[in-house]
Structure 1
Amino acid sequence: MPEISSTGSRDFDDMKILLIHQNFPGQYKHLAPALVQAGHQVVALTPKVKQPSKWQGVNVLPYQIQGSSTKGIHPWLSDFETKLLRATSCYRGAKALKQQGFEPDVILAHHGWGESMFLKDIWPRARLGLYCELYHLTNETFTAFDPEFIKQNAEADPLRIRMKNLNNRLHQEVMDAGISPTRFQAATFPEEWQDRLTVAHDGIDTDLVVPNPGARLEVTGGRVLTREHEVVTFINRNLEPYRGYHVFMRALPDILKRRPNAQVTLIGGDEVSYGARAPDGKTWKQIFIDEVSDRIAPEDWERVHFLGRVPYERFLAMMQVSRVHVYLTYPFVLSWSLLEAMSAQCAILASDTEPVREALTEDETGWMVDFFDREGLVDRLCALLDDPETRARLGRAAREHVVEHYDLRKKCLPRHINWVEHLSGLSSRPPRD
């Protein structure tokens, strides 16, 4: 992986920078305004908006996704067809932008949805920098980590996954440089990517995400939780197996039985961010509620609070009242929420999986437990709840670690800006036949 210096081979002043993200600002939330403040002209192209607008100095322009998925298409092609529809739609929007005279020096794109696939055909001299979130691997660590959800035709998974990587492979041909938030995620990409990849996390605003002894969180029934309560927290973007929701829920009856004063709060939606959808039109959330419901008394259910998706301020309050935060994940993309919980000085109990081990050290910045060890999860959670000195020690060390390695303004944002500067000095790779 390349070393990124603070100077490029061209003048870094007054560049034209195009951002591509299907849910802008996404990972460019902090970088985009920083580039504007540095004096660059920054334009974002996204289907998220319907009308041109301005956001923190960024000109945000819409493009419309045209076309629809083909009925009856081979299921291995449906994923790529969706990305192709986005790519051709973005291409049309970019072509209109070029006709208005816009010529970007640098294009920054999260290519995971395919949008940036054909942008080098419009601007072959622009440098393309990709946000490299994950390359899909065929080994059992990825395809068979959780035996409960292995498909009946699992032997075909390597074939399907190679097709899923078509988008990655087509982008690899035209990518001038890539950036990945963790070493684990960067390492999923093939060897031929590595000399163009830089590892730099998006960053945690440690000035905002701080411990707050006076924090208050309103939960179901109008009850207000504070640091005086025994609050156990669990967060997924969407409640689903990839993030260990099923493991946590199966542990919940024993947690409630052994901790009669515990208030368990969960944040997360009903949809699917990763992996397969729940069967029979159900949601993973409800499936595992139903599975454990007969082991939990009605009065104990009153101590369980599903908050759904919440504004950031409420998420932050939940972290600040948490006595122990439980984080579980497959070997997959590391959640921002883990690092934010650490920044809020939570005591962490997390799954002993590879992406977690990159951010957390056993008995230094948190405790870990085998992802599938439900009894171990309950035992270690109860032990941590009974040990305020250990919780305080782990919480302080967790915050110190995030401040030292993941601080937005002092560590991560400068590195991203330097990466853009480095990118601007590279020779552009033109599209290939």
Structure 2
Amino acid sequence: MKILCIHQNFPGQYKHLAPALARLGHQVVALTPKVEKPTTWNGVQVIPYRINGRSTQGIHPWVLDFETKVLRGSCCYRAALALRDRGFEPDVILAHHGWGESLFLKDVWPKARLGLYCELYHLSTYPMLDFDPEFPAKTGEGEALRIRLKNLNNRLHEEVMDAGISPTRFQAATFPEKYQDRLTVAHDGVATDVIVPNPDARLEVTDGRVLTRDDEVVTFINRNLEPYRGYHIFMRALPDILRRRPNAQIVLLGGDEVSYGARPPEGQSWKQIYIDEVRGRISDADWARVHFLGRVPYARFLAMMQVSRVHVYLTYPFVLSWSLLEAMSAECAILASDTAPVKEVLEEDVTGRMVDFFDRDGLVERLCDLLDDAPARARLGRAARDFVKCSYDLETVCLPQHLAWVDRLAKAEPRPPQD
């Protein structure tokens, strides 16, 4: 079988699936703007294309998002035409359509089956909109209209989607009813044989200090430190945490940019905004116990999970972070927000503990309780790892689900492009 993968940051969600398909003997080709020259990666032929053009200056802000997707889709379309002219005819196309690249691929290969990674449908109602009253929509009532227009990309893809896959039930449920009979819920998977507890783990933090399991380590991870993942809530709790826990070492992982939600004021970062807000209430001696590591190699991320005594995870009702399941696989004791995506994978006082996203005092209290209760931490950590191994293990659960989904997709009757 000939399989084409489309991802603006390949391999992305196809990190495990694409090589697995290649190992099974399929011809797997990827189109991506991430690379500059053709290359081969784990049996996958990776072909670059360029994204040309830019958004129209002064365009109406409600259509800016869609114009960007059309630009990307048209560039990928031209790359697909060139690939077709060289004789490549895929049986199956696997695409993360969130950036628009796959908008026009059925016009190139109408007989191919298109399987989409359905990450999120943008809902214009609470709690997906206006969940956090601190950050109301800048456009007021018009924000719901802007959000609805963001789904033009989703809606056009629905017309030609032969099958979709979503990593969680929460994410799949955001899509309208007409998608549901073509959606499969299957997570990308957690390498539980790699992400394991390690009593001898060592993590170097700031000033050459090395933390181990003997230290009282509290960890917090965002791809980028920002409100969508509760960074502001955690930072505002930090002065009380440091006061109540004089031996605690606080380790934060994440970049200074924005992955989701509103951008900070020009020239600032959310990271620094909340440091500045709380720093005056934290002594220099206590601040020395706070370690911002930025973005780190995977081995260092793993060591961070392995030395963690309690891992704090907060999120808006949004896409679930891989890092939560990875922390559970490392046998961390988890304290998380009781938002919908978290409650899908965490059970109160069974695989972790939860607190209201906005309850800063509750966060401090529940964190201190957990830090004082070693038997509870051990029990929760073991149960969390057992749950992830049973339900989200990459090799025995999730990858077989994805491979079976591709097999079903290959047998589907392809939906042609529509006018």
Smaller-chain TM-score range? over 0.9
- 1:26 is aligned, of 4, 8, 12, to 12
Q: For residue 132 of structure 1, what is the aligned residue in structure 2?
A: 118
CA RMSD of aligned residues (A): 0.5
- 2:342 is aligned, of 356, 375, 381, to 356
Q: Is structure 2 residue 61 aligned with structure 1 residue 79?
A: no
Over 3 Å counting, the alpha-carbon distance change for 1:51 and 1:152 in structure 2 is closer
* C-alpha distance in structure 1 between counterparts of 2:202 and 2:150, whole Å: 44
* C-alpha distance in structure 2 between counterparts of 1:193 and 1:281, whole Å: 41
* C-alpha distance in structure 1 between counterparts of 2:24 and 2:266, whole Å: 51
* C-alpha distance in structure 2 between counterparts of 1:313 and 1:152, whole Å: 40
* C-alpha distance in structure 1 between counterparts of 2:17 and 2:294, whole Å: 28
> How far did residue 152 of structure 1 move?
4.2
* C-alpha distance in structure 2 between counterparts of 1:399 and 1:97, whole Å: 44
Q: Is structure 2 residue 234 aligned with structure 1 residue 248?
A: yes
Q: For residue 86 of structure 2, what is the aligned residue in structure 1?
A: 100
User: 1:416 is paired with a residue of what secondary structure?
Assistant: helix
* C-alpha distance in structure 2 between counterparts of 1:73 and 1:155, whole Å: 20
Q: For residue 339 of structure 1, what is the aligned residue in structure 2?
A: 325
Q: Give aligned pairs, total.
A: 419
User: 1:247 is paired with a residue of what secondary structure?
Assistant: helix
- 2:33 is aligned, of 12, 33, 47, to 47
Which amino acid is 1:273 matched to?
S
- 1:426 is aligned, of 389, 407, 412, to 412
Q: Is structure 2 residue 173 aligned with structure 1 residue 171?
A: no
User: 1:423 is paired with a residue of what secondary structure?
Assistant: helix
Q: For residue 272 of structure 2, what is the aligned residue in structure 1?
A: 286
> How far did residue 281 of structure 1 move?
2.3
Q: For residue 211 of structure 1, what is the aligned residue in structure 2?
A: 197
Q: For residue 182 of structure 1, what is the aligned residue in structure 2?
A: 168
> How far did residue 151 of structure 1 move?
2.4
User: 1:23 is paired with a residue of what secondary structure?
Assistant: coil
Give CA deviations for 1:107-155 in whole Å, capped at 9, x if unaligned: 0000000000000000000000000000000111111110000024321
* C-alpha distance in structure 2 between counterparts of 1:28 and 1:138, whole Å: 29
Q: For residue 196 of structure 1, what is the aligned residue in structure 2?
A: 182
Q: For residue 381 of structure 1, what is the aligned residue in structure 2?
A: 367
* C-alpha distance in structure 2 between counterparts of 1:57 and 1:153, whole Å: 47
User: 2:250 is paired with a residue of what secondary structure?
Assistant: strand
Which amino acid is 2:390 matched to?
E
Q: For residue 399 of structure 2, what is the aligned residue in structure 1?
A: 413
The answer (yes or no) to whether the contact 2:219–2:304 under 8 Å persists in 1 is: yes
Q: Percent identity?
A: 75
List alignment gaps of at least 5 residues for structure 1. 1-14
Q: For residue 9 of structure 1, what is the aligned residue in structure 2?
A: none
Give CA deviations for 1:190-220 in whole Å, capped at 9, x if unaligned: 0000000000000000000000000000001
List alignment gaps of at least 5 residues for structure 2. none
Give CA deviations for 1:318-343 in whole Å, capped at 9, x if unaligned: 00000000000000000000000000
The answer (yes or no) to whether the contact 2:355–2:362 under 8 Å persists in 1 is: yes
TM-score normalised by L of structure 1: 0.96
* C-alpha distance in structure 2 between counterparts of 1:165 and 1:276, whole Å: 18
Q: Is structure 2 residue 132 aligned with structure 1 residue 142?
A: no
Q: For residue 5 of structure 1, what is the aligned residue in structure 2?
A: none
* C-alpha distance in structure 2 between counterparts of 1:383 and 1:278, whole Å: 34
> How far did residue 69 of structure 1 move?
1.1
User: 1:404 is paired with a residue of what secondary structure?
Assistant: helix
Which amino acid is 2:112 matched to?
A
> How far did residue 77 of structure 1 move?
1.1
The answer (yes or no) to whether the contact 2:130–2:137 under 8 Å persists in 1 is: no
> How far did residue 279 of structure 1 move?
1.3
Q: Is structure 2 residue 46 aligned with structure 1 residue 65?
A: no
* C-alpha distance in structure 2 between counterparts of 1:152 and 1:394, whole Å: 41
